[in-house]
Amino acid sequence: MGAREAAPAVRAETLVPGGRASANRRGQAAARRRGRARRERRGGATVRRAVITGVGAVTPAGVGATALQGAAAAGRSLISRLDGQEYAGLPVQIGGRISDFDVSDRLPAGLARRLDPVQHWAIAAADEALAQAGAPRPDGAETPLPWERHRVAVIAATGSGPVDAMQAATRALDARGPRAVPLSLAMHGAPDAAAALLSQRYDLRGPGQGVSATCASGAIGLGEAQRRIRHGYADAVLVVGMEDCLNAVNLASNANLRALAAGYEDRPGAASRPFDRARAGFVMSQGAGAILLEPEESAVRRGAPILGVLAGFGASSDAHHATAPHPEGRGAAAAVAECLADAGLEPDAVDHINAHGTGTPAGDRAELLAFAAALGERAREIPISATKSSTGHLLGAAGIVEAIISLGALADGILPPTINLEDPEFEGWNFVANEPRSASIGSVLSTSFGFGGHNGAVLITRPDRMGAA
């Protein structure tokens, strides 16, 4: 969120300026009014709680949501040096890379060759999420599902989509001419292609779509799913977030923007440093995450595991700059306030924050300003984790991946640490620094902010923590 050179001149001690208190209160009151108005507009219509009954992940931590949650809870860095000729000469040669994934037991060899690796990961994550939710393996249209097929929607959230396939096709075109470009690119080369692939794999006949909003894609995809469940447009929604930008072009572009942490090739695990005085940018990672949502009554009726409730969602745009965040966190604050209003909850109901926290000087500062504006005095009391310090930044998949991490914190009572937070720039904040912290929590606010000013926030609660539908 924001390039390094765009950092606003705001001192750490002014992050909760007294002069803005009345404006902050007005903003919170306005969000509450919008929430009340939205609930009134629902009238007598049935409004259903959207619960999470399945999760899956393929990340640098390994295959499976449990591996991801365990790595984040332990504060284990997943960042390594990127070896290979492709990365030689790049100004940044580190990232969070998947190293132990085998697609051969999931897809026929011919189909696997036609798909981008990011789509392989998305399929594996979706398989895991659906299996946990109680759906059968993808054996065809005759295999019964817990829901009517035309009532199951699929959302693919990504910032860039199948980048590797697109770049490989470009190289083939340059080297051998037009006939070398694979026709599979026309079929599977769009950002939303994973939604179609998963619909076909499971014979899911509800709406399929892509959501692309840079680093807020995953959070906004979850919000769209929650709304479909809440208002009866679907009886289940599979949301998959995926990203792979660990290639020379994307690394060089972001390094030239001075958005990436540079100079850490000899100690890659120390590169991602959210909220630390020495932070110098984010670290790219690759991977996919999947979440299955359905109405609470459906999950209860069929005895499915309820991992959490997607109680609130808010989104906004900064309308400010192509890469830099609004210097006072205006759009981010609006998304957080809208999220709480959507849940029908006050700031005191937030027990933990999984911050966007990428480690850019401008972005981290603006995010704390946003928390102060949206949450008031409560902002400094809430334990804050920035798990990108361990996982790196999965860009469009980050919102899904960090929601899965948040579900782990709710279930296990372990708040994941912000590693590398050796010299916090901002005093008076309740950072979970360097070591995990035990805490019984009932809710997690997870935020995602992206280039272009895209903002998303979700509030996930334990099933026994009541909020709005």
Domain count within the chain: 2
Which of 12-21, 242-251, 414-423, 439-448 shows the lowest per-residue confidence on average (mean pLDDT)?
Answer: 12-21
pLDDT at 243 over 80: yes
Task: Determine the Cα–Cα distance for residues 217 and 194; give it in Å rounded to an integer.
Answer: 14
Using the 3D structure, point to which of 302, 323, 348 is the last residue of a domain.
Answer: 302
Task: Classify residue 137 by its DSSP letter.
Answer: P
Using the 3D structure, point to which of 302, 320, 340 is the last residue of a domain.
Answer: 302
Question: Residue 18 is which amino acid?
Answer: G
**Per DSSP, which regions of 20-83 are E strands?**
50-59, 62-63, 80-81
Reply yes or no on whether 393 is catalytic: yes
Say yes or no: 246 and 320 in one domain. Answer: no
Say yes or no: 457 and 320 in one domain. Answer: yes
Neighbours of 142 (CB within 10 A): 6
> What is the domain range of residue 352?
30-39+308-461
Say yes or no: 411 and 287 in one domain. Answer: no
Say yes or no: 237 and 176 in one domain. Answer: yes
- Answer left, alpha or beta for residue 105, where phi above 0 means left and psi between -120 and 50 means alpha: alpha
pLDDT recorded at residue 167: 87
Catalytic residue among 188, 320, 326, 393: 393
Task: Determine the Cα–Cα distance for residues 199 and 79; give it in Å rounded to an integer.
Answer: 33
Question: Residue 273 is which amino acid?
Answer: R
Residue 24 resides in a domain: no
Task: Determine the Cα–Cα distance for residues 315 and 234; give it in Å rounded to an integer.
Answer: 21
Beta 236-243 vs 152-157: how paired, if at all?
Answer: parallel
Residue 13 resides in a domain: no
pLDDT recorded at residue 45: 59
pLDDT recorded at residue 186: 86
Say yes or no: 253 and 400 in one domain. Answer: no
The DSSP annotation for 380-418 comes to GTS-EE-THHHH-B-GGGHHHHHHHHHHHHHHH-EEPPB
Beta 236-243 vs 208-211: how paired, if at all?
Answer: unpaired
Catalytic residue among 188, 215, 320, 454: 215
Say yes or no: 97 and 180 in one domain. Answer: yes
pLDDT at 33 over 70: no
Task: Determine the Cα–Cα distance for residues 382 and 214; give it in Å rounded to an integer.
Answer: 27
**Per DSSP, which regions of 114-250 are E strands?**
152-157, 208-211, 236-243
Kindly state the average pLDDT of the residues 281-293.
Answer: 99
Say yes or no: 229 and 365 in one domain. Answer: no
Contact 238, 126 (CB under 8 A): yes
pLDDT (tens digit per residue) in 86-98: 999 999 999 999 9
pLDDT (tens digit per residue) in 315-327: 999 999 999 999 9
Using the 3D structure, point to which of 259, 280, 302 is the last residue of a domain.
Answer: 302
pLDDT (tens digit per residue) in 103-162: 998 999 999 999 999 999 999 999 999 999 998 776 555 567 889 999 999 999 999 988
Phi, psi of 159, deg, nearest 5: -80, -35
Kindly state the average pLDDT of the residues 390-409.
Answer: 98
Say yes or no: 101 and 82 in one domain. Answer: yes
Task: Classify residue 217 by its DSSP letter.
Answer: H
Note the residue count of the chain: 469
Residue 223 resides in a domain: yes
Say yes or no: 188 and 229 in one domain. Answer: yes
Residue 25 resides in a domain: no
- Average model confidence (pLDDT) for the chain? 91
Say yes or no: 123 and 258 in one domain. Answer: yes
Residue 350 resides in a domain: yes
Say yes or no: 115 and 189 in one domain. Answer: yes
CATH label of the domain that carries residue 412: 3.40.47.10
Query: In the chain, helix, strand, coil percent, each to 5?
Result: 40, 20, 40
Q: Which helix (DSSP H) or strand (DSSP E) does residue 136 occupy?
A: none
| Residue given tokens 């069929």 in the structure block | 302
Catalytic residue among 120, 320, 326, 356: 356
pLDDT (tens digit per residue) in 401-454: 999 999 999 999 999 999 999 999 999 999 999 999 999 999 999 999 999 999
Residue 235 resides in a domain: yes
pLDDT recorded at residue 13: 41
Residue 191 resides in a domain: yes
pLDDT recorded at residue 18: 41
Reply yes or no on whether 321 is catalytic: no
Residue 261 resides in a domain: yes
**Per DSSP, which regions of 212-321 are E strands?**
236-243, 287-295, 308-317
Say yes or no: 286 and 315 in one domain. Answer: no
Reply yes or no on whether 188 is catalytic: no
